[in-house]
Amino acid sequence: MASLADPLQIAGLELRNRLYRAPLLECAGTGPDAVDTLIRELEPAAASGAGFIHQGATIVTEEGGCAAPQMTRVADPDFVNGLSALTDRIHDHGASIAIQLEHGGLRAREIWHHGFEGPGYQLAVSRPPWPLRLLDRLGALDLQSRIMSTEAVYELAAAFGRSAEMAVDAGYDAVHLAGANMGIIQQFCSPFFNGRDDEFGVGPDGFSARFLEVVHDEIRERAGDVPLLTKVPAETAAPPFVRSRLSLEDGVELCRQLERIGFDAVVPVCTSTFWDASVVRGAYPARSWSDRSFRNGYRETFGGRLGARLAALGNRVESWVYDFEPGWNEAYCRRVSEAVSIPVLMEGGIRDRSQIDRLLDEEVCNAVGMARPFYAEPRLPARLLAGAGAAAVCESCNNCVVPQVTGARGVCRTPAVLRETGQLERAGAYDAAGGE
């Protein structure tokens, strides 16, 4: 039975412990300050003892595919080469770092961000599902999809391979594919999005692993035996009217197939078929929606005052549907751990050391990750590794994430949480770094 402080092997990579910083939106972009921003966001977790740092979703193409403002792209060799300054800093603290590769597909900013001037179309796996077409007719979305040919699918897979190769050359220790949260990889896997009739279409199993297989092969050919992991979706949080979806059983079988293909670890994630609050479960972020400093940004993003109000209303409804649930991926991870022999990483609603110890003790997973709590406590690992009674101060209120639709940084904006963090800081709670 593993403990949090035990090392973990993922293929040839040895992690110093089983605590990782899960992928977050760092809002670094690709400008001249991007590397410094990433260092500022990621280094504290490594310095305070986390064994594994996951850089948030980074886009593998030169244009399109961004699901949110200020996402980093890794298509330009000169820029990616400069990321070695980040990986060096992480390694200086004895931690390892993975880069998460992404393409938004039908989740791209072009479809939902009214003020965004991008290429004007979204890559689509097949004809968009009817709910998206309906929202387009109602004016809520700007659906200008470009369905990929078989050749274009192979080219997109090659883009993942090229980005992985450049990342490994820049010192990244592992590659993490953004296989869930409604990005294009999930869209290829899911019968809700995938109506193709070629080799990438959904097969008799009711899902498709073919795109992930081709991406795996591209990365292996270009980047060698770098440890490769991916999120694996189960669309259990989809609304009831969505009948064609990835069930929990589908997700487990997909994980089995990915192990056979050659993936080195999986991150099972219960998600929806839409870009909703299912991946950031918690309270309605009233403080952020009412903050005057973001008001113009919301209006630009959602097409005016009415659009912003409707978006806030939708967010309120989703907060009822997707209320916070501790460890909401636990049942899925437990099933996957029983089905595969590769490491299973778990994230989603993990907040305290006792919960972590139980998950590892019961072999629900092999490593545990947190995301939003790092916005409030960048050096959270020091506390979690030091004491069995430690818990994140994060309240899962989502005041950190909503302003990101305007391009704002992901930081804690809840006074009570900030006060508690300040008290812990003054008490030296973050000084006993677990890695140094």
Q: Which residues contact 163 (CB under 8 A, 6 or more apart)?
A: 58, 60, 74, 75, 80, 99, 101
Does residue 3 sit within a domain? no
**Nearest-angstrom CA–CA distance, 345 and 369:** 7
Does residue 291 sit within a domain? no
Helix or strand or coil: residue 57? strand
Cβ 218 vs Cβ 160: under 8 Å? yes
Pairing, β 228-234 against β 265-270: parallel
* pLDDT above 70 (res 261): yes
Please tell me the predicted confidence (pLDDT) of residue 436. Answer: 44
Please tell me the predicted confidence (pLDDT) of residue 236. Answer: 96
* pLDDT above 80 (res 434): no
Cβ 307 vs Cβ 313: under 8 Å? no
Does residue 318 sit within a domain? no
Q: How many residues does the chain have?
A: 436
Percent of the chain scoring above 90 in pLDDT: 96
* pLDDT above 50 (res 367): yes
Does residue 258 sit within a domain? yes
How many domains in the chain?
Answer: 1
* pLDDT above 70 (res 331): yes
Say what the pTM is: 0.96
- Rg, C-alpha atoms of the chain: 20
Cβ 138 vs Cβ 61: under 8 Å? no
* pLDDT above 60 (res 433): no
**Nearest-angstrom CA–CA distance, 379 and 45:** 5
Residue indicated by tokens 């689509």 = 124
For CA atoms 171, 173, 175, 181, the dihedral sign is: negative
Hey, how many other C-beta atoms are within 10 angstroms of the C-beta on 243? Answer: 8
Does residue 379 sit within a domain? yes
Please tell me the predicted confidence (pLDDT) of residue 119. Answer: 85
Q: Is 82 exposed, middle or buried (0-12, 13-18, 19+ CB in 10 A)?
A: middle
**Nearest-angstrom CA–CA distance, 71 and 59:** 7
Helix or strand or coil: residue 173? coil
How remote is the C-alpha of 373 from its chain's centroid?
14
Q: What is the CATH number of the domain that holds 27?
A: 3.20.20.70
Confidence of residue 435 (pLDDT cuts 50, 70, 90): very low
**Nearest-angstrom CA–CA distance, 54 and 433:** 19
As given in the structure block, the two tokens for residue 212 are: 């992930």
Residue indicated by tokens 């980040």 = 86
Closest listed residue to residue 109, CA positions, set 404, 409, 410, 411: 404
- The single-letter DSSP state of residue 148 is P
Confidence of residue 387 (pLDDT cuts 50, 70, 90): confident
Cβ 264 vs Cβ 342: under 8 Å? yes
pLDDT average, residue stretch 15-19:
98
**Nearest-angstrom CA–CA distance, 279 and 250:** 19
Cβ 148 vs Cβ 194: under 8 Å? no
Better-scored residue on pLDDT, 150 or 434:
150
Does residue 72 sit within a domain? yes
As given in the structure block, the two tokens for residue 44 are: 């504290």
- The single-letter DSSP state of residue 38 is H
Residue indicated by tokens 């290429």 = 119
Cβ 340 vs Cβ 259: under 8 Å? yes
Confidence of residue 120 (pLDDT cuts 50, 70, 90): confident
Does residue 436 sit within a domain? no
* pLDDT above 70 (res 3): yes
Please tell me the predicted confidence (pLDDT) of residue 432. Answer: 61
Closest listed residue to residue 350, CA positions, set 360, 337, 340, 363: 360
Tell me the pLDDT tens digit for each residue of 336-354. 999 999 999 999 999 999 9
Q: Which domain holds residue 375?
A: 8-280+324-426
CA angle, 146 then 149 then 155, to 5°: 100
Does residue 294 sit within a domain? no
Compute the mean pLDDT over every residue in the chain, rounded to the nearest whole number. Answer: 95
pLDDT average, residue stretch 240-268:
97
